[in-house]
Amino acid sequence: MKRRNYLRLFLIILVTTAASIVLNQLGVDKENILMIFMVGVLLVTAFTRGYRFGIIASLASVMVFNYFFTEPLHSFAISDSNDIALIFFFLIASVISSSLTARFQRQLLISQKNERTAKLLYQVTQRLLNVTGEGNIIHQGLNCIKEYTGCSGFVELNESKHTYYSDNFIQGENENSIELHIKGLTKKLGTLKVFYKDTNLDIEQNWLVNTVAAQMGIALDREFVYNERENIRIAMEREHLKSSLLRSISHDLRTPLTGIAGASSYILERGRSLEPENAEHLVRDINEQAVWLTTLVENMLQMIRIDSGKIEVKKQIEVVDDLINEAVTHVIGLPERSFSINMPKELIAIPVDGKMIVQVLINLLNNAVNHTPKNCPIELVVTQGEDYVEFCISDGGAGIDPKIKDDIFSAFVTSGKVGADGKKGVGLGLAICKAFVQAHGGSISIGTSHLGGASFTFKLPYAEVE
């Protein structure tokens, strides 16, 4: 680099001298020729770096001017005092001009470097701004350091005790390292260690590494705040579900318990004087209320198992006819309805957890009975496909309320209306159906039936039994 600058200095002085000699022969005064040398000094300062070359160019220009253009010619002696003053002031002006030009160049380089550094830091900030996930944040920061500085490193986090390394990280034997703290708003989150081969990182690299450490701290803090907020939201939802469950239990258990207590008290008080038909009617009411309570409690227990992730599917080969017959016997009010079953003539056996599928059928049939008038038909259709068995329960009621259609399979979602039998569910039956069907690898959906009301269809994987 120095040789190149000295070559530029020599060429510019050479060209300036040749141009001055030519202009002098054309009659240009030596005062104007000094301006040519001044331009040469400024050119040297512009095409080289530092004060040194400008001062050398100024001294060289004075010597050349003295040798070629002052009396006596071709000598470094000066006979005219005016030439001495002219050369002196030229030297001062050229030194000052070259110094100012060199300073301007230096400030320009500094501003360009600062602009480049600012853009670099902005890019780093943008890359870490929208990254989520602890591992993604750390890897993005390490990739920024690797990409912009060529240095590798790793991050050790305090709370999770995890260590994340740069891609293809291999620590050299003679590498130096720098260690930075990753700080959050209130505490130290971890440590960033960067390895480099040079004696020291330059200012730009140092700034970048420090910026990455700071941005990782901000991003990790943001992730921590988001996770805490999500945990709080989930806890609030759980409390809300508990409150809804308790409110539903207290409201929905009161009606059947009141009926059971009233009917049993009436039988105890007038048991001997009751007509057999009236006594049988009261006992039947007690039995229906007790069965409904059993179904309700069973749904609640199953929902608790689902929430705790303790669903265990114990599959056995079950005949579809047996599953349907078992479910139908447990649905109160179904025999009094216009209920029909449409099944293939061939016997169908599928690998399922019988209790779960019976519970699904009971819940869907209860749903049809409770939400349709007594004169509405209910239909159960079973269809056998190549690799699945499809169950479709349809009714001729009013259909699904559009307001709850999208959330119909969520827990505690109900239409808010009292059923045809005077009961109001807690909104767990369909949520349990979805969980049980999906646990078998199947699917469940809702639609509009050909009877005019709602239809619930679920499919179960089928394997032919030899």
Clarify whether residues 164 and 107 are in a common domain.
no
Clarify whether residues 183 and 157 are in a common domain.
yes
Clarify whether residues 30 and 152 are in a common domain.
no
Q: What is the pLDDT of residue 418?
A: 45
Clarify whether residues 329 and 303 are in a common domain.
no
Clarify whether residues 295 and 276 are in a common domain.
yes
Length of the chain: 466
Clarify whether residues 345 and 416 are in a common domain.
yes
User: In the chain, which stretches have pLDDT less than 70?
Assistant: 1, 50, 171-174, 198-199, 241-242, 244-255, 271-272, 295-296, 299-300, 302-310, 411-427, 463-466
Is 124 contained in some domain? no
Is 35 contained in some domain? yes
Tell me the pLDDT tens digit for each residue of 434-448: 888 988 889 999 988
Is 246 contained in some domain? no
- Measuring CA to CA, which residue among 293, 255, 237, 250 is closest to residue 410? 237
Task: Give the C-alpha distances (Å, rounded to integers) separating 126 from 19, 129, 144, 206.
Answer: 55, 5, 11, 19
Q: 72: cis peptide before it, omega within 30°? A: yes
How far apart (Å, rounded) are the C-alpha atoms in residues 359 and 80? Answer: 122
Q: What is the pLDDT of residue 421?
A: 46
Specify the pTM: 0.46
Is 182 contained in some domain? yes
Unique residue bearing structure tokens 């141009």? 19
Is 320 contained in some domain? yes
Is 119 contained in some domain? no
Is 323 contained in some domain? yes
CA dihedral 247, 249, 254, 256 (to 10 degrees): 150
Neighbours of 78 (CB within 10 A): 15
- Measuring CA to CA, which residue among 319, 313, 335 is closest to residue 438? 313
Tell me the pLDDT tens digit for each residue of 189-200: 888 888 887 667
Q: What is the pLDDT of residue 458?
A: 93
Clarify whether residues 185 and 211 are in a common domain.
yes
* Max Cα–Cα distance, the chain, nearest Å: 156
Is 181 contained in some domain? yes
How far apart (Å, rounded) are the C-alpha atoms in residues 393 and 328? Answer: 12
Range of the domain at 49: 2-112
Clarify whether residues 217 and 85 are in a common domain.
no
What CATH number is associated with residue 396? 3.30.565.10
Edge-first strand listing for the sheet containing 443-448: 338-342, 377-384, 388-395, 454-461, 443-448
Task: Give the C-alpha distances (Å, rounded to integers) separating 415 from 239, 263, 367, 401, 451.
Answer: 22, 29, 11, 7, 20
Q: How many CA atoms lie within 13 A of 119 on its CB side?
A: 5
The domain tally of the chain equals: 4
Clarify whether residues 207 and 285 are in a common domain.
no
